[in-house]
């Protein structure tokens, strides 16, 4: 006689086994999906790295500035070009978009300034500006004095010109220092200070094509921002001196020969920029020299004597102070 056995336990184990199979299947499917996601993330990461690897080589090697040339030598800047490069490098089946973009010209060149400062910090080190930091206030004070003396000089020159014009016929023909001053003022300052054999550059740029005059693209999105440090201005000035040429030390293969003069003057031609810088140097030199002459007693006596003599020629003693200055 066969013994009857109930089957509740078998059914229970079957249900548990089914649940275990379902769980294992779900875990395998989840792992498969996660693996696929990781592979796509890796593909996207490699695509981004590959796209950034196509940085503008000349800009980095010559100026230490990292940037992507978004037109890819097509002449037309387009974000679609960058997305196409991402697809080319393995992100073709991934939905991609650019969340943020920053141009070197955004916010008056803030990104260019940041990279230039970081480059110079790595190259020169913080110790390079220790002796310069304390002189910034002195330079600013010197500039204020120079501008003040420059304004005084302009007013005095106007008075002297008017006086010379009205009394031109009564001036002595020989040994007249005022006539020499008139001759010097009539000459171009550039001709007076240029060394022998100096060849003036005739290079120029089209003003409408410069960053300050043409319409610029604007970036968007948010990126990590870094506040400017106390010595960033000095580092940036050191960077400019390091990377850009000038009339005395020109760089090769440049649009303008006098690059530093262009940065200071902002004119379209090398000639105009050089004249501007020479004029500024003249004002600074004038301030220093004029300040010294005011403290030199011997020179003051000579000038007083000469001014008295010349004012007597005009029969106008009251114009002595004008002639003196």
In tens, the pLDDT along 244-265 reads 999 999 998 899 999 999 999 9
With CA atoms as reference, report the closest residue to 195 among 245, 246, 247: 247
% of the chain beyond a pLDDT of 90: 19
Q: Containing H/E element for 156?
A: helix 136-166
Output DSSP code: residue 211: T
pLDDT at residue 269, as a whole number: 93
* Model confidence at 5: pLDDT above 70: no
Task: List CB contacts of 81: < 8 A, sequence separation 6 or more.
Answer: 70, 71, 72, 74
Q: Is the pTM of this model over 0.95?
A: no
In tens, the pLDDT along 61-89 reads 999 999 998 888 887 888 888 888 888 88
Most confident of 22-31, 91-100, 285-294: 22-31
Every domain of the chain and the residues it spans: 12-98, 133-232+244-294
The two three-digit tokens of residue 194, written as one number: 């240029």
Give the SS3 label for residue 236. Answer: helix
In tens, the pLDDT along 193-231 reads 888 888 889 999 998 888 888 888 888 888 877 776 767
Confidence of residue 123 (pLDDT cuts 50, 70, 90): confident
Angle between helices 232-243 and 106-124 (to 10 degrees): 80
pLDDT at residue 96, as a whole number: 80
């Amino acid at each position: 006689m066969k013994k009857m056995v109930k089957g509740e336990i078998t059914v229970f184990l079957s249900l548990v086994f089914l649940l275990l199979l379902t769980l294992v299947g779900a875990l395998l499917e989840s792992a498969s999906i996660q693996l696929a996601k990781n592979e796509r993330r890796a593909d996207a990461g490699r695509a981004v790295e590959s796209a950034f690897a196509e940085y503008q080589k000349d800009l980095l090697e010559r100026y230490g500035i990292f940037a992507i040339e978004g037109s890819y030598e097509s002449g037309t800047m387009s974000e679609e070009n960058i997305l196409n490069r991402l697809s080319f490098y393995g992100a073709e089946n991934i939905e991609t978009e650019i969340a943020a973009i920053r141009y070197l010209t955004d916010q008056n060149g803030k990104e260019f300034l940041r990279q230039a400062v970081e480059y110079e910090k790595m190259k020169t080190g913080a110790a390079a500006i220790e002796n310069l930091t304390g002189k910034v206030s002195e330079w600013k004070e010197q500039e204020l004095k120079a501008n003040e003396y420059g304004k005084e000089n302009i007013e005095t020159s106007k008075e002297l010109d008017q006086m010379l014009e009205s009394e031109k016929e009564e001036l002595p023909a020989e040994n007249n220092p005022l006539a020499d001053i008139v001759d010097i003022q009539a000459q171009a300052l550039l001709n007076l200070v240029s060394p022998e054999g100096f060849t003036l550059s005739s290079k120029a740029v089209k003003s409408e094509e410069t960053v300050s005059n043409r319409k610029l693209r604007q970036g968007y999105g948010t990126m990590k921002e870094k506040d400017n440090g106390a010595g960033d201005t000095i580092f940036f000035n050191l960077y400019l001196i390091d990377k850009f040429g000038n009339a005395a030390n020109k760089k090769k293969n440049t649009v303008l020969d006098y690059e530093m003069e262009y940065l200071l003057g902002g004119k379209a031609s090398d000639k105009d920029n050089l004249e501007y810088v020479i004029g500024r140097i003249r004002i600074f030199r004038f301030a220093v020299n004029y300040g010294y002459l005011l403290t030199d007693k011997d020179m003051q006596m000579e000038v007083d004597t000469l001014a008295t003599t010349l004012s007597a020629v005009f029969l106008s003693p009251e114009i002595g102070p004008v002639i003196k200055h």
